């Protein structure tokens, strides 16, 4: 009876679940994209010899890693408008302000973790590479962007892939501010058919499929990179 109810729920409400999956993937992709860009900048600041910049980056990383994501999301969505900071409204994108707040909160949180991944990847590159680049006349910035970072990417790509998997799961938290992600749509279906366990089971299976496929793609990419090393 349980699996019969699951199938009938999925058959009747699959458009809701598909919309939720689509929005979840959109949030995850943009979060990892912006989180990686900000993470590169934050990691560079963290490794900077300019102490105030290094302290600021360290404080940012420790703060966002040491506070709950829920608090960060609530502060950005509810707190910023209270001090006059609002996201622009885009007429042709429904609920753009909610999406923007969710992506910004997740990106700022992801940035703190990505920055540490990138920092460790950069530090894993032999220091002689920097010295060799500087001896050839490169500035420190050119050495970092043209010599160190390209080698560090090989070290950090698997970890960035794992961050994407983590973001897929953590993105469910944005349902609390009304973003129609997978969890939000699951709650909507529960309110329609009152089959709580069946709906949660469907959501769990979908999340598992998304993370499992992403994990396999990450493993495949990692094997390709390892073959490249050999």
Of the candidates 186, 192, 191, the residue with the CA atom closest to the CA atom of residue 20: 186
Average pLDDT over residues 156-182: 85
Does 82 or 151 have the greater pLDDT score? 82
The whole-number average pLDDT for the span 200-227 is 85
Q: What is the pLDDT of residue 59?
A: 94
Q: Domain locations in the chain?
A: 2-229
CATH topology of domain 2-229: MetI-like fold (1.10.3720)
- Collapse the DSSP code of 117 into the 3-class scheme (helix H, G, I; strand E, B; otherwise coil) and give the result: helix
95: left (phi > 0), else alpha (psi -120 to 50), else beta?
Answer: left
Binned at pLDDT 50, 70 and 90, residue 120 comes out as: confident
- Does residue 229 carry a pLDDT above 60? no
- Least confident range from 45-49, 92-96, 150-154, 190-194: namely 92-96
Whether residue 227 is predicted with pLDDT greater than 70 in this model: the reply is no
Q: What does pTM read for this prediction?
A: 0.85
Mean pLDDT within 112-122: 88
Query: Would the pLDDT of 230 be above 70?
Result: no
At residue 38, the 3 state secondary structure works out as helix
User: Alpha helix locations (H) across the chain?
Assistant: 2-46, 51-66, 69-74, 80-82, 96-124, 127-135, 140-143, 149-170, 182-193, 196-229
Among 164, 15, 26, residue whose Cα is nearest residue 95: 26
- pLDDT at residue 201 in the model: 93
* Residue 31: predicted pLDDT: 92
The pLDDT tens digits for 40-77 are 899 888 988 888 999 999 999 999 999 999 999 999 99
The whole-number pLDDT of residue 88 equals 77
pLDDT at 140: 78
């Amino acid at each position: 009876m349980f699996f019969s109810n699951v199938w009938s729920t999925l058959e009747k409400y699959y458009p809701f679940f598909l919309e939720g999956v689509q929005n979840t993937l959109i949030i995850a992709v943009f979060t990892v994209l912006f989180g990686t860009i900000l993470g590169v900048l934050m990691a560079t600041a963290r490794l900077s010899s300019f102490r105030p910049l290094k302290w600021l980056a360290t404080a940012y990383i420790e703060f966002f890693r040491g506070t709950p994501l829920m608090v960060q999301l609530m502060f950005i969505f509810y707190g910023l408008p209270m001090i006059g900071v609002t996201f622009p409204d885009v007429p042709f994108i429904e609920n753009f302000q909610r999406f923007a707040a969710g992506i910004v909160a997740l990106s700022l949180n992801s940035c703190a973790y990505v920055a540490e991944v990138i920092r460790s990847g950069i530090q894993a590159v032999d220091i002689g590479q920097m010295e060799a680049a500087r001896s050839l006349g490169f500035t420190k910035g050119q050495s970092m962007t043209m010599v160190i970072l390209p080698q560090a990417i090989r070290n950090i790509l698997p970890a960035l892939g794992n961050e994407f998997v983590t973001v897929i799961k953590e993105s469910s938290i944005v349902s609390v501010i009304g973003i129609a992600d997978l969890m939000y749509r699951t709650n909507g279906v529960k309110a329609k058919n009152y089959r709580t366990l069946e709906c949660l089971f469907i959501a769990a299976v979908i999340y598992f499929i998304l993370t499992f496929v992403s994990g396999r793609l990450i493993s495949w990419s990692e094997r390709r990179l390892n073959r490249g090393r050999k």
